[in-house]
Chains A and B, each alone.
Chain A
Amino acid sequence: MQNAHDIALLLARFQFAFTVGVHIIFPAFSIGLAAYLAVLEGAWLATGRQVFLDLYRYWIKAFSIVFGMGVVSGLVMAYEFGTNWSVFSKKAGPITGVLLSYEVMTAFFLEAGFLGVMLFGMNKVGRGLHFAATCCVSVGTLISMTWILASNSWMQTPRGYRIDPATGQFLPDDWLAIIFNPSFPFRLVHMGLAAFLSVAFAVGATGAWHMLRARRAGAIAGEPVRVMFSMAMWMAAIVAPVQILAGDAHGLNTLKYQPVKIAAMEGDWETEGRAPELLFGIPNMRTEHTDYAVKIPLLGSLILTHSLDGKVPGMKDFPRDQRPPSPVIFFSFRIMVALGVLMMLVGLWSLWHRRNSTLFTSPVFHIVALCMAPAGFIALLCGWVTTEVGRQPWTVYGLLRTSDSAAPVILSSMAVSMTAFVVVYVIVFGSGLGILVRLLARAPQEGEPDTAPTRASDMLATRVHPAVVTFSSGKGA
């Protein structure tokens, strides 16, 4: 059964999942961080408080690194649809390709056009214009998210199309129905919140780290550190519970449009009312049974239908060749939910510390906040694995199978490229992560230097940013 073609398909899927999984980390970081930077700069302009400018200048250095990695990993994605999924892209291109083009024209150019001004233009344009540039970049990241999620959601819950009987192509009938397909609003909200939460916990962990280090040195962390920690914990306390509500709504919506995905996420085989919720288990696709199940009675119906005797679907209601691999998404889903609950608890705990005025002094809390650094990103990846693996065996849900989507690229080429991708990504993004950690290891200071120092000697002194030179423009700086 495992002939060369099957293995090539498997490699193509693995390669796509690997590259998009790496990519999504950076856009999520960029979406959250760009919004945070816009808030900081706005707060600085409104209040004139130096601490906001210091934080802006501190985080924009990380932003330039993260954004750069987002751009180069995204460039790969724009071509991978054709290299790996040429049949899919030929058939669905009239819809997904058009959405991607709109993303380029409304979002990528906007970000790229104003990124230069944002990073290097502080001394070259007025404050108002610079703030406008920051906002443009931030809005660009949000627009980008909107289009790509419209495209992905259309693949999950296709609407507004017709199929050309001659070529099998999807022909667009109604663009509004295509864009505002049934899963799009839920996915947009859930993903947007995920990006904000991920960055909140990354920023919070950086603050916690510096407070722990200051404490060990017998000092008190500076104002910028405390302000960023406090801001991050407000985000956690407010957004984490909202995210859980959004996730719940997303799940109900999926139950309606992709019931077999929910059955596989829950490890349920039989359709039943008054269904239990499985806390743990190992779904077995062959024996059609979930082994070692740990159940809580009634909870399954309660969560999925919001009533005690609601009917919950089971995988046996669907033909074997239409069931997604339950063991993968059973666990990825549970990791995401567990992390979501954990984030909410940390948020609530921060409120308790705030009331007792121990937010900046509790080492235990700071250690927990530090450990939560990757939590958002892990939850986000687990969420995507649930979504995408749960869509299997289809690329366009119910209409085009993954095995019929692949490109005629032979196994040896796939194997070479897969190896090359892994090696390059490990070197490049591994180094990037190292550089980022080193950058954040330096605490933000009062009077943080600008990103675009006018003299190279400034840059060498702080060893932190590009743009080593003066742009001796006609007008002068």
Chain B
Amino acid sequence: MMDFAHWLPIVWAVILIAAITIYVILDGFDLGIGMLFALERDRGRRDVMVNTIAPVWDGNETWMVLGGAVLYGVFPGAYATLLPAFYLPIVLMLLALIFRGVSFEFRVMTRGTAREALWDTGFMAGSGIAAFCQGAILGGVVQGVSVTDGAFSGGPLDWLTPFSVFCGISVTCGYALLGATWLVWRTTGTLEASCRRWARRLAAGLFVGIVAVSLWTPLLHAPYLRRWTDWPNIAFVAPVPVLVVVLGLLLAASLRKGHTRVPFLCALGWFFLCLSGLGITVWPYAVPPSLTLWNVSSPPSSQFFQLIGTAILLPIILTYTIYSYRVFRGKVTEADGYH
């Protein structure tokens, strides 16, 4: 029993980080595409951009619902402290996601009326604001939350610091990069060429962001620095900067050479590295700097019951998700006779 109570939270932390990573990558390119509306004004090309994700965005967003639900069921102590702590950015993010989500349908259904521009703007601004809030919340978690007696005890704007704002901007830039490289893969012609151009600049921006956040994070709390330099963690941490640079060079080269799929995969690689680095940094805290995974866990009877279902259902979910991506694979183009 003792062992159970020790291991279950670890297993769940890994599943949760995996779910967050999948969400960030999948909805990352959705939100990125929304933001790229700011750079692409042509309606036909905007339609192509939206149509590369229209059949899959709902499934992508569901990973975020899963993240929330798992936190609620498995780590209720974390759910109950983090959500009040980030009350304002969370509400703002949810409202932004409302605009983003309905705009898929509304922007076409209002075509030719005065309100068409509202929903194009809603799509763009909703995506950008949601991305920024997600980055700021992530940064806010890393920098820590004040907790007394297991409940949030800080003020409503505690999360708002230069560090969290910088994280927000970096994530925004990163999502736009994911979106641009996704479009390089899935579109043709003028749009693809523009995306290659944008992707290069965004990659430079994200690279600066990654470097800055990596240097800044260990300055936030002494334990973070120790976590990175302790054995055996250092064996995992040390190669990360090298990999980041290698992926960056590969990304730049593949964009130049006209590869279609490699740039997207490189961008994914960056996100994967950053999120695993983040996991290693805050481990074993669920709410840094005071509550560990075990402090916030629900009882083993809950975690175990949920684990059984997850072990059975997650592979099934992944299977039909891949199926639905395959149905809509291939380059998307503007329709014949569109002009």
Contact = CB atoms under 8 A, between A and B. Distances in A.
Interface string A67-105: 011011111101101110011011101111111111111
A432 interface: yes
Contact of A68 (B101, B317, B334): B101
B66 A71 contact: no
B68 A79 contact: yes
Given A102-B306, A465-B108, 20 more contacts: A71-B58, A79-B68, A86-B84, A86-B152, A90-B76, A97-B69, A105-B317, A109-B317, A114-B324, A115-B58, A116-B55, A116-B59, A117-B324, A171-B302, A420-B92, A421-B91, A424-B95, A459-B108, A471-B332, A472-B332
A172 to B, nearest CB: 5
B102 A75 contact: no
For A110, A412, A464, which residue has the most chain B Cβ atoms within 10 angstroms? A110
Q: Which 7 A-B pairs have the closest CB atoms?
A: A93-B76, A116-B55, A97-B73, A82-B83, A97-B72, A90-B80, A94-B298
A469 interface: yes
Contact of A409 (B68, B156, B306, B310): B156
Nearest to B153: A408
B91 A101 contact: no
B105 interface: yes
A468 interface: yes
Contact of B333 (A68, A93, A469): A469
Nearest to A453: B335
Contacts of A432: 102, 106
Interface stretch (A118-126, A211-219, A256-264, A333-341): A118-126
Main DSSP-derived SS at the B contact region: helix
Main DSSP-derived SS at the A contact region: helix
Contacts, number: 296
Contacts of B90: 79, 83
A171 B65 CA distance: 23
A158 B330 CA distance: 51
Contacts of B76: 89-91, 93-94, 97, 169
A111 B91 CA distance: 25
A470 B333 contact: yes
B299 A171 contact: yes
Contacts of B92: 420
B229 interface: no
B102 A72 contact: yes
Interface in B18-61: 44, 47-48, 50-51, 54-56, 58-59, 61
Nearest to A15: B91
Q: How large is the interface on B (under 10, 10 to 19, 20 to 34, 35 or more residues)?
A: 35 or more
A113 B59 contact: yes
A407 B61 contact: no
A234 interface: no
B327 interface: yes
A148 B81 CA distance: 23
A173 interface: yes
B64 A468 contact: no
A423 to B, nearest CB: 9
A471 B328 contact: yes
Contact of B84 (A82, A125, A428): A82
A417 B87 contact: yes
Given A114-B320, A409-B84, A473-B329, A82 B72 contact: yes
Contacts of A110: 320
Contacts of A100: 69, 72-73
Contacts of A87: 80, 151
12 contacts: A65-B109, A75-B98, A78-B65, A83-B87, A86-B79, A101-B306, A105-B310, A109-B66, A172-B301, A432-B102, A435-B110, A463-B112
A412 B156 CA distance: 9
A86 B156 CA distance: 15
Contacts of B335: 454-457, 468-470
Contacts of B104: 68, 466
Interface in B104-152: 104-106, 108-112, 115, 150-152
B302 A95 contact: yes
Contacts of A474: 329-330
B97 A116 contact: no
Contact of B66 (A105, A431, A438): A105
B301 A173 contact: yes
Given A120-B54, A435-B106, A76 B327 contact: no
Contacts of A169: 76, 298-299
Nearest to A407: B84
Contacts of A467: 51, 54-55
A119 B105 CA distance: 12
Contacts of A83: 83-84, 87, 90-91
A230 to B, nearest CB: 28
A368 interface: no
A64 interface: yes
B99 interface: yes
Contacts of A1: none
Contact of A455 (B82, B102, B337): B337
A457 B106 CA distance: 18
Contacts of B110: 431, 435
Nearest to B186: A471
A179 to B, nearest CB: 11
B156 A410 contact: yes
B87 A409 contact: yes
Contacts of A104: 62, 65-66, 69
A112 B305 CA distance: 24
A413 interface: yes
Contact of A98 (B47, B302, B338): B302
Contacts of B232: none
